[in-house]
Structure formats: structure tokens, C-alpha cells
Chain A
Amino acid sequence: MNLSRRQMLNLYRKMITIRLFEEKIIDLYARGFIPGLAHLYIGEEAVAAGVCANLRKDDYITSTHRGHGHVIAKGAELKYMMAELFGKKTGYCKGKGGSMHIADIDIGVLGANGIAGGGIPIAVGAALSSKMRKTDQVTVCFFGDGASNNGVFHEGLNFASVHHLPVVFVCENNLYGISVSQKQHQAIQDISIRAVAYSMPGISINGNDVCVVYEASSKSIQRARAGEGPTLIECKTYRWRGHHEGDPNQGKRYRTMDEVEEWMEKCPIKKLEEKILGEKVLTKAKMNKIREEIKIEIEGAEKFANQSPFPDAKDIYEDVFVS
């Protein structure tokens, strides 16, 4: 598939935004501005950007504990994300959710999720709802290789296939469920073969090549939108950081430095930059300018988060129920 210059530029902007946002989190987390857990998406940017570039604003996604990339790609505003990560009242969830629960129904983000696989049945239900309401909305369900062993993966795919629902299951196989390698946690290499059991198409693709991700998800999303049912896409990728920012030695207890470096060589952003330069979509100087613009936006988000107030004590009792 030949992407237009404009499409490539948009993908590039999204991927750089995700990368620089996450790099900022590393710094802010280390300096104690961000409490709790932060599971970073660095190294996997091509998946979120490539998939979400095919979605409309009214389409839905369900995300995971490693969700910053998905929600940025679906159109979330950095300042509200950052404020949420700081636990501030101005954040997406008024500081009640944090990194693992960012949601904005208005842009179709049905929530990151702290439970591995937790979003899978919810995505299936959103797709069921679209079908019942006779809209042509599509739901994309992100999850990892670890979640593919959970019962809800099988329950969700089964339900979606029985009802031919407009949902695309995107498995980000980053080779580890926290510290347990794929070899240790499942006896298959290609998770996409599990699609056969649910009578839906399944493909395994290079998750570090945004053009490949874009093309595969474009077909699956169109298929879902046309009422032809669900697809399982497995994107082979890798997380560069530890499971979360507090992971001892950033995940070097269970991975070799050689392995990490090998995957850093396959950087999805570097790959796209080579293509962009090769096809003369942008010059090096233009690329740097884009980076600078995004850095300024992220600094603005940080400033917004810093200057925002924490929730008031009385806020603890708000939003338990819809009143």
C-alpha cells in the first residue's frame, strides 16, 4: 500500500508524540512527579499509530495498562493526560484513575484497563452496541501476548465471531507478560493462529513497520465496518523499557541487553524516518522542526499538570454513582 505524503506525515507526528511523551514520563517519574505505576509504550508506537489512523472519532478503542500510545493515537489531549498522570483534578479522570484508566468516551476511548484482558469483552460489547444501534462504528481492542492466555480473550473472540461483530482484535506481542517470555507462557509462536478456532481471519505482522500495520488494520477495519465480522491481528513488537518504570533495572533481570539492543535497532520511528527521507517526504531539518514543535506541546502539558490543583478532600466521595 502506498501511503500519501500527508498520511505518512500524520503517522510520523503521532509516533513522535508518543515517543517524546513517554520519554518525558521517564524523567518526571524519576523525579517523583508521577506517583504509582507508569507502563511505557516506547518501541511499540507503530501499532497504535498505524491502527488508529484508520479510525474515525466516533469509533471505539479499548486499551490496556500500557495505554498512553493508544489514547494519544486516538486523539487524546496531552495536557489532560499529563494532569491525570500527576493525579491532578484537571486530568481526564479528575485524578481518580491515573495512568492505567485514562478514558474519554467523546473521542471513543472506552478506557485503558488495569486488568490484563479486561478490555476484551468490553470491546465486544461496544461492537454489539454499534450493531444494535445500526451505526457503522468499529471497535478496536488492544491487548498483549500475556492477555491472549486469559479466558476473556477466548470468550471475547468467540462471542464476536458468533455475532459477526464489528471489532478488530489487535494483539501487541511484545514477547513478555511482565517478566515471563512468550516461550514460557504459550506453546505457539504466532498468536494469530488462535483466530482459526473462532472462524475469523488472523494475521501476524511486523508491528514495528507502521506502513504494514496501517495496511493490515485498514483492511480489517473496513471489513468490520462493512459488517463482515471480526479479525485478529498480531503485531510483533517489543517494549524497550521495563514492565513499568519501577521495574528493577528496566527489565534486565529477565532479558539480555543484546536482545534489547537488537530490538532497538528495529526502532519503528527510525524505520519510518528512513522511508520518509528516502521518499523525500520531509527533510532532516523539517523532521527536527516537528520534534521541536511536539516538545513544546509536551512542555505545555507538563506546565499545565504542574500548575493544576490536586483534588479536594471531598472529591473522594464524588462519582461513585451517577447521581
Chain B
Amino acid sequence: MVGVGGSSPLVSTISLNTLFICYSYLYMIKVYKAKSIITMNPSLPRAEAVAVRDGLILETGSLDSMKPWLENNDYEIDDQFKDSIIVPGLIDPHLHPSMAAVLLPTFFITAMEWKFPWGDTPATTSPEEYDKRLKEALSNPTHKDIFITWGHHDLWHGPMSRSRLNKIEQKKPIVVWNRSFHELCMNDGALDYLGITEDDIKGASQIDFDRGRFFELGLGYAIQKLNPYILDPDIFREGLLKLKEVVHFGGQTTIADMAVGLFDFDNELNTQLELYENDNNPFRVELIAHATALINYAGGSNIEAEKLISKLPERNTHRLNFRKRVKLFTDGAFFAQVAQLMEPGYIDGHEGEWLSTPEQFEEVARIYWNQGYAIHVHVTGDLGLELAIDTLEKLQFEKPRFNHGFTLEHFGLSTPEQVYRLSKLGANVSANAYYVHELSDLYANHTVGFERASSMSRIGSCFREGVTTSLHSDFTMAPAQPLMSMWVAVNRINEKGVLMSPEERISPQQGMEAITINAARILGLDHEIGSIRAGKKADFTVLAQDPLEVDPMTIKDIKIEATLFEGKVFHISNR
């Protein structure tokens, strides 16, 4: 501004200086030096320093190249990461905090190894080991009335029965919850404690003929009795706090809750707000509403649900945000083997499940498509995927859109022809690569045969067809560790150590894209996060080794030392 008089120039100057000093103090530039910075910005892929102010990146490059920023401003060089590798803050674009919150307070006995901030869960792969581990766990004192363990799987651990549990422990209440969530088993103590009588359990301990598996038909009855214990508000909070540790431990600075409303919309949202919206939380949560679950909540129709969802951004806070996105479903769950398959279907002839009629799916998709939403569709089998692609094709014909963000989530089984079609239609893929690791052997030998099983999570083809492709955990379906997802997608080694469809592997560079910039694109946040470049948020993950240089088989073992969320450092403690 041009001065209009000379009456008090001195005073003005002093106050301006004071302001300037305050500003410098609060918004001092911090320069992080690293052994190398993987920027994921294709125009400047590597750097050795990054300058940050007020949570934003000012410049990446070298101390030399960023001189113009430093010459006229106060700055501080932080070299605590000088021997480390900085990558963009890792992003998990699809997990379920509320499911995790229910599960994390339980004791894990699993066929796969799970790493947690509080200790590792070793792989337990035989019935004998399972029983041994359960016995050990029970010998430790606990404050909980009921001992609930999760992760049991018939194929590794043998069939579970009341008598088997009673042999281990008859009195103390034990509940064994199957890995698929669809079965559970109780000992006498748990039945007593929950007031379930002999007569009840007689009806409830039957067999699912459709699947030819031992299956608790009375599951719903049991779950209802258990609900007070597993959905107890204190336990739920404990679970969400544990998830916070898990997310940080996995090096993630952004996660997406890909179905808000799964259990109870208000409770899920409010508890996350209460626990995650504070300066000590090292990540943001993108919230995507579960369209069908919100129908009743909104007043009974899809139109009302859309209206409600369109207003959800009004509830946004700094870290927790709804955008113009919605979650839909086509077919059943992959772990439970109820995905819908095209011919020749399942080896044993059982049928998959639809979650709504194809007509209803199309109707709902049309409502959101025409209102301009990015639609995320849960698809697991190739027929479920086919429905999503056919629907997208129709909608594109009716009302063409570009860069529309229609995303195929999970992407269990697919065909090369489907990858071609979805690419032409402009769809994105957010894949659960972990299926290949945990399920491909099972699917090869028991479910669909080797040919189809080996190419589940057909990610290499997606990259070749130019599809924007990200990796997610769907936690607790897979560990919430993007480096683990990347490791599976890059190596495709299953739990038996067998290489499954080497043609569908991706390069480490592509793997890194899938857990950073592509994941950001899939959430519509690529202008703010997902790479390290001037103007983006200062979200970083600090690694002990270079994921693009190490032996690809060791990617999952790279130590994560810290994360930075909008410029604030959050160390990960050695345990």
C-alpha cells in the first residue's frame, strides 16, 4: 500500500517487524535431509532435501537448489532422517475402522503372520499348533469376561467344535470366531455365560450343506448374545485406539473408511471424530458412506439416502472428510467364497451371492452417477465385476462423464477382457493384492482351480492397460501395511511359497505408485497428497531402506521409522 502521510512511519515499521518475527517463528521453514527422497513426482523423481512450512511442502531438491527460499527466511535444517529414505505418506484407500475396532480387542490366532505395534502374531498352520496357542493364551490372566479369539480357519486349523474347545478349557468362556467372520464356536463356559441352553445349541450347531463345511447356522443367535460384549462402547473405543496405533505402525498418513454406516452410522462417525480429530493423530480419514446401509437412516429410499449423503460434507473437520463419493456392492465376500463367478463357477458347484438384484444395483448406481458422484463398487468375483462394468457401460452411454472416479474395489477374480473394457470405460481399480498371498493356494486346490486362482488380483494387466490402480488392505481382511500389499503385488508369492502368475506382477516403482499417488487419485486427493512436490501437504513416511532398491522379497520387512503428518513428526517406537 502506498503511504498517504508521514505522521507515523516509525511506528508502522516496528509493528511490521514484530509481525514478521512472529510469523517467522511460527512458520519457520524446516528442511528435512534424507539419504534419498522418493518423490513420486515423475518430473523430479529423487531429491535429497525437502523444505516444509506450516504443513506444506515449499520445495524438494537439494539444499543448494532451495537457497532462494532459505536466503530470506528463517529456517532450520533437521537431519534426523539423514540416513533414511523419505517417501510420500502411505495411503490405504480402503479399510474398515469399525470392523477393525470390533476385532482388534480379540486375541488373534491366524494362519498368516500378523505384525502389530504391540507384538507379532505368528503363523499358526496346524490343528495341533492352534490348540497349543489357544492353551497358552488362556493361561494368561485377562480382565475380560469372555475370551474371544479370531482367525480360525478349517483348512489350516481343522474343524472347530464345542467338544474340541471343552478339551482345552471347559469353564472359562471361550468364543472362537472364524477368519471369514461367518462361523463361530463356543465352549460350555461361553454357552453358560451367555445363557444359551442345550436346546438352543442343538438347533444351532448344524452344517451348511451348500458349502459342505461345518458351519454354525445359529451364528446370528450367538452373535446377538455376544453383541453386548463385542459392541460395548468401551471395547469399541479400545478397538479404535488400537487401530490408530496400527495405522501409524503401517506408515499410513491417509486412510479411507470405505463403508461408513456398516453398523451404526452416528456411532461410527462420532467415535472416530472423538478419537481421531486431534493434533496427536498422525493421519486423516476419508469417509465414504455405505449407500444401502443409509437408506433406512435417511428415511427409506435411495433418493433420500442420496440427499443425506450430499449433505455429509457439512460435518467435515480438518482430518475427517466426506466428499462426493459413495460405496456400493455387487457380490458376496471373497474370503467366505460367496463371490459371484462366471462360468465355469466353483469346483464344488456352490453358488455365490448377490447383495442386491442387478436391477436394484443399476438403479442406485444411476442415481449417484447422474448426480456426479465418484462411485466405489465392492466387486469380488468376475461375475460381480461384470455387473459393475456392464452398468458403467450403460451409464456412460446415457450420461457420458470423464475422469469420473468409478472404482472397482477388491478385484478378486477378473478376466483380461474385463480389464480392457474397464480401462476403456475410464474406471479405476483398487485391488486387495493380499488375496494372492493368503487365498491363491486354497482357491487353486479347492475352489476354482489353478488357472483362475493364479491370476486373482490381476494387477499387472491393469497397469499395462493404463488403469489407475491402487492397493488396499480392506483391514482386517489383510494387514493394514501398505508395504505388505506392495510386497505381494510385486512378488506374487503365496503362503505356500509358490509364485502365482509372474505376468501379473508389477515393478517396485508401480507398487510404490499404487500405495501413494494412485491411491491419492482414487480418493480424489492427488492435488494435495500422494507425492512430494511443492504445494502438497507435508505427509511423509520415513523408511530405513529404499523400497525401490532393496531385494523385492524384502520390501515387507523394511522398517518404518516415523511418519510426518502435515509436517509434524510422529516417531514409531522400537519394540
Q: Do A and B come from one complex?
A: no
